Each structure stands twice: as C-alpha cells, then as structure tokens.
Chain A
Amino acid sequence: SQQGEEDPQALSIQEGENATMNCSYKTSINNLQWYRQNSGRGLVHLILIRSNEREKHSGRLRVTLDTSKKSSSLLITASRAADTASYFCATDALNQAGTALIFGKGTTLSVSS
C-alpha cells in the first residue's frame, strides 16, 4: 500500500493566491521529498526535508514536517499559471539502503490567470 497520501486530491486557485497541499505517511522515515509532474511527463524534484528538520524554504516553496503526526505540508506562495501540475510527496523507509521511494497519489493543482 502507498505510504504517502496527499490532501486535497485537487485544488483550483487564482494566480497570486497561495496553494497548500498536505501529505500523510505511515512509517518512520529518513526524509520526505516533494515532486512536481506536468501532464504525462517525468517528475521534477522540488525539495527534500530530513526527519530532523521541521521547516525548509526554497524560493516560493515552504515545506513543513511533523514527524510526530507523520505529516508534511507544501506551501506555494504567489502561485502562477506555470505552477499548474500534479504534486507528489515521497518518502523512504528508515534504515533502508538505496532510493526506493513511496509516492502518494498526488494533488492536482490548477492555477488560472
């Protein structure tokens, strides 16, 4: 079964607004990552947050991680039409060697101008 579950499944906003997506997972992790996918294409890595970090920023992106609640959120500020895409959280497994990530089913973000 999938470890990460995103919420909401779909989100529609206007340009300039903020978009918040949430992710929950089930087991202990080393880190959590967020990826973006434009329709039918490969995924692009956005940000990685380690289990001992609580918040991380990258440009207009802000990610939080709460390991006690096994949850993370991705905030995109001042959204643009180009941010329209699907967003996935991905987790590894604690003490697992290698890069076998477990992805959630994603949040589809639509930003209209």
Chain B
Amino acid sequence: KAGVTQTPRYLIKTRGQQVTLSCSPISGHRSVSWYQQTPGQGLQFLFEYFSETQRNKGNFPGRFSGRQFSNSRSEMNVSTLELGDSALYLCASSKPTATNEKLFFGSGTQLSVL
C-alpha cells in the first residue's frame, strides 16, 4: 500500500510569490491534514479536510488556504509569500470516519522563501 505522497520535495520561491503544494493520501483515507514545521515554532496545525470540507483550521493568516478533491487528494496554497513562510510543510492522512486517530505523514515539502 503506497504511503502519503507529497510533491514537490523541495521548492524555492521569492517573497511575494505564491506556491501550491500537493498531497496524495493513502488509498481509502478521507482525512487530510497539513502542518507547518519550523525550528522556532515547531509543528503547527494548519488545517484538516474531510470529504472535501474543511473540518478544522489552525491559527494561520488567510494567505494560507487549502482544498480537497473528490479523490481525497489535497492541495495547500500560500499566497504573497513571506520570509517567515520558509518551513517544512507536512501532510498527513488518516482513516475514514475515524477521529482522533493516528496520522500517517508524508515526507514533506521543504519550502525556502528568498
């Protein structure tokens, strides 16, 4: 069974640009969550999607958005990039209908904003 796949693995952007990150969950998993990891703030929850609907949202500005498609694949978008958006962005999926269960993480997308 294939794991959670995130693309691209590395990304370099400049301030003011926008970026789209992609995540394909494990087959059959309908919940997809996104996390930002930085050395200073650690792992912070961005948002969670379940059956194409945003179910939970973390404390991030509106520049951070996401969506989920009918095949459960998810994308997150960051507009007007700032230097502080440089981070490892991790996607995780979990089983259908399960709440508060374990997450399966992808390898992440390392975003560098110059």
A105 neighbours in B (Cβ, 8 Å):
42
Which of A33, A48, A101, A106: most chain B CB closer than 10 A? A101
> Does B86 lie at the interface of the complex (its beta carbon under 8 Å from any beta carbon of A)?
no
B45 neighbours in A (Cβ, 8 Å):
100-103
> Residue-by-residue, is B88-101 near A (CB-CB < 8 Å gives 1, otherwise 0)?
10101010001111
> Residue-by-residue, is A70-82 near B (CB-CB < 8 Å gives 1, otherwise 0)?
0000000000000
> Does A44 lie at the interface of the complex (its beta carbon under 8 Å from any beta carbon of B)?
yes
Number of A-B contacts (CB under 8 A): 74
B107 neighbours in A (Cβ, 8 Å):
41-42
> Does A28 lie at the interface of the complex (its beta carbon under 8 Å from any beta carbon of B)?
no
A100 and B42 contacting across the interface, CB-CB below 8 Å? no
Closest to B108 in A: A42
Shortest beta-carbon distance from A48 to chain B in Å: 6
Pick out which of these stretches binds chain A: B12-20, B48-56, B65-73, B76-84.
B48-56
> Residue-by-residue, is A1-19 near B (CB-CB < 8 Å gives 1, otherwise 0)?
0100000000000000000
- Contact residues, A28-64 vs B (CB, 8 A): 30-31, 33, 35, 40-45, 48
Complex Cα–Cα for A18 and B98 (A): 34
Name A99's contact: one of B4, B101, B106 (CB within 8 Å): B101
> Does B102 lie at the interface of the complex (its beta carbon under 8 Å from any beta carbon of A)?
yes
Closest to A45 in B: B102
Complex Cα–Cα for A103 and B101 (A): 14
A104 and B42 contacting across the interface, CB-CB below 8 Å? yes
A43 and B105 contacting across the interface, CB-CB below 8 Å? yes
Q: Using a CB–CB distance below 8 Å, which chain A residues touch chain B? A: 2, 30-31, 33, 35, 40-45, 48, 88, 92, 96-106
